[in-house]
Amino acid sequence: MAIQRQFLDISVGTVLKIAAVVIALSLLYLTREILVILFLAVIIASAVSLLAGALERYRVPRLIGVLATYLVGVVFFSLVLYLIIPPIVDEIKQLAVVLPDYYEIAARQIFKTTSGISPDYAKNAQSILLNFGEKIKEFSSGVFNIASALFGSAVSFVAIIVISFYLSIQKKGVEDFLRLIIPQDQEEYVINVWMRVEKKLGKWLQGQIIIALIMGVTVFVGLTLIGVPYALLLGVVAGVLEIVPIAGPILSALVGVSMAVLTSPFLALLTLIFYIIVQQIENHILVPILMKKATGLNPVVVIVALLAGAKLGGVLGMLISVPLATIAGELLEDFSKKKILSKNI
């Protein structure tokens, strides 16, 4: 019985292509921090360019519009840093101090006993809250600490700001930058994809920020009037969790009701009714008005992107996760259209 031997014939060209792909992937991995810096700079420049372009329609010079946008951003974050964060840290520390007492109240109201449930849970939660408060205090102690926490280092932060500023003061700065790094035969397609992504991201981000601010302030004022403790902290939680579609508002409501039930069941009922009313207003008034034009960003995709970004890259990964998911969505949509078109031909 003859044994047949098969030989894999690989040409020199194939070997060179495989080697080129391996080298390219290695370079991408080694320069990933630089690529993230460039990507974030392009995103910021695109957002600033949209605002500067809007100001140009009112005959405001582009340079002044860009400077004004950055100045407003600095003032806003400074106000958050020095006016809002210190009271939040104080509320976190106060909550940590009274947490064991709240634990006993909850055990008595819910389980009708204070025995049989380990008090270690309360002590661990107290320790977590105290550490969290200290972390926020360290985080908010200076601009460079914030930069290091968000962007890996102050140098990366400065590079992002400088590059984004340079790109945004030019009318087609981002487009010219993309033409510089993209092969000529792919220029028009890549720029077309980016313009679509930029439009979707801009509208989605504007809507999310406005809704988050409205919901945060509304929850703070409402819970303060009702008498729920730590209303400022709960308002910030509500605003931050708005970035997570569907699940975010539900989680913020659970946190608020949980805090209220430790005071009294009647207060918890009032708080639950308040959150239901607020979320109905959000779902039927705010979202239709502010997000009606921000189509294309599926809430499930946003949630998955944020979770994946947080897992792979922490805060920085979350910052770039939604833009990357939007780009991937546009590419997949184009691929599907081409596939359907090729079938019909």
pLDDT single digits (tens) 326-336: 888 888 877 77
pLDDT value at position 152?
58
* Assigned domain for 330 exists: yes
| Average pLDDT of the segment spanning 255-260 | 83
- Helix, strand, or coil (residue 310): helix
Are 310 and 323 in the same domain?
Answer: yes
CB within 8 A of 331, min separation 6: which ones? 193
What distance in Å separates the CA atoms of residue 157 and residue 77, rounded to the nearest whole number?
15
| Average pLDDT of the segment spanning 171-199 | 81
The CB density around residue 103, as the number of other CB atoms within 10 Å, is 19
Are 284 and 316 in the same domain?
Answer: no
* Assigned domain for 5 exists: no
CB within 8 A of 239, min separation 6: which ones? 212, 213, 215, 216, 217, 219
Q: Per-residue pLDDT for 235 more than 70? A: yes
Indicate the residue among 271, 291, 311 that finishes a domain: 291
What distance in Å separates the CA atoms of residue 79 and residue 115, rounded to the nearest whole number?
46
Are 312 and 252 in the same domain?
Answer: no
Both tokens of residue 297?
A: 């960003």
Average pLDDT across the chain, whole number: 75
Are 263 and 300 in the same domain?
Answer: no
What distance in Å separates the CA atoms of residue 263 and residue 276, rounded to the nearest whole number?
20
**H helices within the chain, ranges in order?**
12-30, 32-56, 62-79, 85-110, 120-139, 143-151, 154-169, 173-181, 187-226, 231-241, 247-261, 265-281, 287-291, 299-344
Structural domain boundaries, residue 334: 296-340
Are 215 and 286 in the same domain?
Answer: yes
* Assigned domain for 209 exists: yes
Q: Per-residue pLDDT for 133 more than 80? A: no
* Assigned domain for 269 exists: yes
Are 303 and 232 in the same domain?
Answer: no
What distance in Å separates the CA atoms of residue 1 and residue 122, rounded to the nearest whole number?
77
| Average pLDDT of the segment spanning 248-266 | 82
The CB density around residue 61, as the number of other CB atoms within 10 Å, is 11
Q: Could you give the angle at which helices 247-261 and 187-226 cross, rounded to 10 degrees?
A: 20
Which has the minimum average pLDDT: 8-17, 86-95, 273-282? 8-17
| Average pLDDT of the segment spanning 341-345 | 62
pLDDT value at position 55?
85
Q: Per-residue pLDDT for 310 more than 80? A: no
pLDDT value at position 141?
55
* Assigned domain for 71 exists: no
Q: Per-residue pLDDT for 116 more than 50? A: no
Indicate the residue among 259, 276, 291 that finishes a domain: 291
Q: Per-residue pLDDT for 58 more than 80? A: yes
Are 230 and 314 in the same domain?
Answer: no
Are 280 and 249 in the same domain?
Answer: yes
DSSP state of 118: -
Overall domain count for the chain:
2
Asked if residue 137 lies in contact with residue 167, where contact means CB atoms within 8 angstroms, the answer is: no
Are 280 and 219 in the same domain?
Answer: yes
What distance in Å separates the CA atoms of residue 341 and residue 231, rounded to the nearest whole number?
55
Both tokens of residue 302?
A: 């946003």
Are 250 and 199 in the same domain?
Answer: yes
Which has the minimum average pLDDT: 65-69, 272-276, 306-310? 306-310
Are 310 and 220 in the same domain?
Answer: no
* Assigned domain for 201 exists: yes
Half-sphere exposure of 233 (CA within 13 A, CB side): 21
Are 278 and 321 in the same domain?
Answer: no
Q: pLDDT higher for 83 or 332? A: 332
* Assigned domain for 35 exists: no
Hunting for tokens 């700079």 — which residue is that? 41
* Assigned domain for 333 exists: yes
| Average pLDDT of the segment spanning 103-118 | 56
pTM of the model: 0.66
